Amino acid sequence: MKTTKNNKVIAGVFTLLLPLSSFLFSSCKDDFLEVTSPTDTFIEEYYTTKVSLDEALVAAYAPLHWYDYGSTWQYNALNFISEFMSDDMYPNGSSNTDQPMLQLMFNYSCTPVVCLTGVWSDSYSGVKRSNDVLKYAEWVEEAGNITSSQRADYEAQARLLRVFYYLQLWKFYGNVPCYFENLAAPYISDQLTADEVYAKVIAELEEIIASGNLKDDYPADEKGHVTRPLAYMIYAEMVMIQNDSSRYPKALAYMSELIRSGRYTLTPNYKDIWDESGEWNAESIWEINYFDDNSVRGWGNQLGAGGCVFPRLHGPRSYKANAGDPYEDVDAGWGFSAIPLHSVASFEEGDIRKEFSAFDMFAHGTSDDPGWMNTGYCLYKYMCRKGNNKDQKADADLGFNNNLRVYRYAETLLNAAELLLKTGGSAADAAKYVNEVRARAGLAALSNVSEADIINERRHEFMGEGKRYFDLVRTGRAATVLTPANDSGGYRTKAWTPDVRYLPIPQDNIDAAQGTLKQNGSY
C-alpha cells in the first residue's frame, strides 16, 4: 500500500549542478591560461557525506522510472513491449504507422534505426549510476560518515539494481557490453555473447545473495527498494530463461524459501491487485513506483519525478464507459493493447482473470475509433482510470499513479512448480502450487500437472505483464506458436525465427563503438 507517495524510493530524479569555477588572476603571466579542471576534485569532495550518497542512490533507482517513456522519448513500458512479440497482444493504435517501433516489433521487422532504443539507453544509464554508488560509498566510508555495515547496504542495493538493468539488456538484446566499472574515454567496452553476459551477471547475483547484505523488506513508505526476495525472483527468471539446469536446484530453493516464509499470500480477489489500494499488498514481491501527487513529469520533462504514461497507452481509444457500469471509471486512452481473439478464446470457462486480461470494452462502453487492430478486447490491468492522475502538476498523460507490478507471489508458486518438475521433485507439491493459483482464478484443481500445464497457467495469470514471449522462447515453442497461421486477426505477416530472438542494437551505438560492437542476427 502506498501511504506517503512522495516518500517512495523512486521519488524523483535529482540533478547535481557542479558550479563553474571563478578565477582570480594576480599577474599577467601566461600561466594563468593553464587551468586545471576542478571537477574530479569537486566530486570527491562532494561525495563524502551520507546525504550526498543518498542522492546518488536515488539517481541509481531513477532509470527504473524511465522505462515507460524515458531518455529516447519512446514508449518502452516493460509490461508490454515484449507482449507485442508474443501471441497475446496487438500494438493496435490509430494505424499501422502509429508508433512504428511497436508495429515492427510485432512483426519481427525492426531495423537498427527504427527499433527499441529506450531500454538500451535507460538500462545503461542505470548501470552507470549504480557503478557510481559503489565508488562513492567507499569515499563516504573513508570520510568516516557511514559505517562499514551501512556501506555494505548501499553496495548491495547498487549491485542488485545493476543486475536488474543488465537483466533487461540481456533479455532484449542478448549480446551486449557488460562491465562493472564505469568506462573511461572513448567509453568502449568489449561486447559479450548472451551466454557470457548470463554467466557474468548470474555469478554476480549469487555473490550479492550470499553476502547477506540485502534486506528482506522495507517499511511502507520506503517500498520500492530492492530486496533479497527480488534477488531470488531475478535469479529464477534468469536461470529459467537460460535453461541452466545446473542452477535449477538453487532457484527452487529460493522459491521454496519464499513460500515457507509465510510473508506472501495470493490476493483473494484478482481484480484488487490492479487497484491503487492493491499496490504493495501481500502478493507483491516488487513493484516500480509511480505517483500522481505533485507529479512534475511531462512531455518536456519526461525524466521528472512522478507518474507514468502506460495506463494511457492501454486505455481503449475514444472510449466512453456506460453510466452506472461497474467499470465506469475506465478512461479513454490510445489503445495500444488490443487482445487477439485467439487469446480471448484460450481462457477456460469461468476463469475470472479473463475480464482483467481481456477486458470486453464493448460490454461496458462505446468507441467510435477503436483502432486498426481492434478486437473489442484490451488489457484492464493497467488501463487508465478516472482520478488516477488527478493530483499531477504537469501533464495528465504522464501523471498516472499505477505502480508497475514486476514480480508477484503467483509467479513464485508457478516457478516452484516448474522447477520441481525439472528437478524430479514432488509432483504433488507442483500440483498444489499450481492449484493455489487456479483456485484464486475460480478454476477446478488439476490432479497432476505437466510443464505445458504450468506454461499455460502462466499465460493466463500474467497476460499483459511481459512474461509470455520469454516463456515461448525458453520452452522452444516460439517458432511454432509465433507464426502468421496462428494469428486469428491476420496481422502477423512474418514468423519468428531464432535469428530475431534478440532485437537490433540501436545503430547510433553501433556507430559510436568504432567497429567493436557487432549487430544482432541479420539486422
User: What integer pLDDT is reported at residue 40 of this predicted model?
Assistant: 52
Rounded Cα–Cα distance for residues 231 and 277 (Å): 25
What backbone torsions phi and psi does residue 104 show, to the nearest 5 degrees? Answer: -70, -35
Residue 156 exposed, middle or buried by CB count within 10 Å (0-12, 13-18, 19+) = buried
User: What integer pLDDT is reported at residue 283 of this predicted model?
Assistant: 98
Instruction: Please report where in the chains the cell 538493468 appears, as a residue.
Output: 165
Strand partners, 255: none
Question: Is the pLDDT reported for residue 324 higher than 50?
Answer: yes
- Given a contact cutoff of 8 angstroms between Cβ atoms, the answer to whether 346 and 339 are in contact is no
Question: Is the pLDDT reported for residue 3 higher than 90?
Answer: no
Rounded Cα–Cα distance for residues 180 and 134 (Å): 10
DSSP character string of 56-87? HHHHHHGGGGGTTS-TTS----TTTTTGGGTT
User: What integer pLDDT is reported at residue 22 of this predicted model?
Assistant: 25
Which grid cell sits at 21? 569555477
User: What integer pLDDT is reported at residue 470 of this predicted model?
Assistant: 98
Average pLDDT, the chain: 92
Element (H, E) at 165: helix 148-173
User: What integer pLDDT is reported at residue 187 of this predicted model?
Assistant: 92
Of the pLDDT bands very low, low, confident and very high (cuts 50, 70, 90), residue 434 is very high
Which grid cell sits at 320? 466512453
Q: What is the pLDDT of residues 130-175, one digit of tens each?
A: 999 999 999 999 999 999 999 999 999 999 999 999 999 999 999 9
Q: Is 185 helix (H, G, I), strand (E, B) or coil?
A: coil
User: What integer pLDDT is reported at residue 42 of this predicted model?
Assistant: 84
* Antiparallel, parallel or unpaired: β 284-288 and 404-408: antiparallel
Q: What is the pLDDT of residues 465-510, one digit of tens each?
A: 999 999 999 999 999 999 999 999 999 999 999 999 999 999 999 9
Of the pLDDT bands very low, low, confident and very high (cuts 50, 70, 90), residue 279 is very high
- Given a contact cutoff of 8 angstroms between Cβ atoms, the answer to whether 257 and 193 are in contact is no
Contacts 24+ apart (CB under 8 A), 123-127: 123/63, 123/165, 123/166, 123/168, 123/169, 124/165, 124/169, 125/63, 125/66, 125/71, 126/60, 126/63, 126/64, 126/161, 126/162, 126/164, 126/165, 127/162, 127/165, 127/166, 127/179
- Given a contact cutoff of 8 angstroms between Cβ atoms, the answer to whether 402 and 330 are in contact is no
- Given a contact cutoff of 8 angstroms between Cβ atoms, the answer to whether 161 and 65 are in contact is no
Question: Is the pLDDT reported for residue 253 higher than 80?
Answer: yes
Q: Which amino acid is at 289?
A: N
Rounded Cα–Cα distance for residues 457 and 413 (Å): 11
DSSP letter assigned to residue 365? E
Rounded Cα–Cα distance for residues 372 and 388 (Å): 27
Of the pLDDT bands very low, low, confident and very high (cuts 50, 70, 90), residue 333 is very high
Rounded Cα–Cα distance for residues 365 and 384 (Å): 14
Radius of gyration of the chain (CA): 24
Question: Is the pLDDT reported for residue 33 higher than 80?
Answer: no
Strand partners, 366: 320
Rounded Cα–Cα distance for residues 186 and 66 (Å): 26
Kindly state the average pLDDT of the residues 194-218: 98
Single out the residue of 517, 494, 382, 462 nearest to residue 68, CA to CA.
382
Rounded Cα–Cα distance for residues 470 and 172 (Å): 10
Mean pLDDT check: name the lowest of 35-49, 73-87, 182-196, 412-426: 35-49
Question: Is the pLDDT reported for residue 11 higher than 80?
Answer: no
Question: Is the pLDDT reported for residue 369 higher than 90?
Answer: yes
User: What integer pLDDT is reported at residue 10 of this predicted model?
Assistant: 38
Of the pLDDT bands very low, low, confident and very high (cuts 50, 70, 90), residue 352 is very high
Kindly state the average pLDDT of the residues 349-353: 98
User: What integer pLDDT is reported at residue 522 of this predicted model?
Assistant: 87
DSSP letter assigned to residue 376? S
| DSSP 3-state percent helix, strand, coil across the chain (nearest 5) | 45, 5, 50
Kindly state the average pLDDT of the residues 39-58: 88
Please, what is the Cα angle at 490 between 94 and 358, to 5 degrees?
A: 65
Q: What is the pLDDT of residues 91-101, one digit of tens each?
A: 999 999 999 99
Which grid cell sits at 472? 515461448
Q: How many CB atoms lie within 10 A of CB 327?
A: 18
Q: What is the pLDDT of residues 374-405, one digit of tens each?
A: 999 999 999 999 999 999 999 999 999 999 99
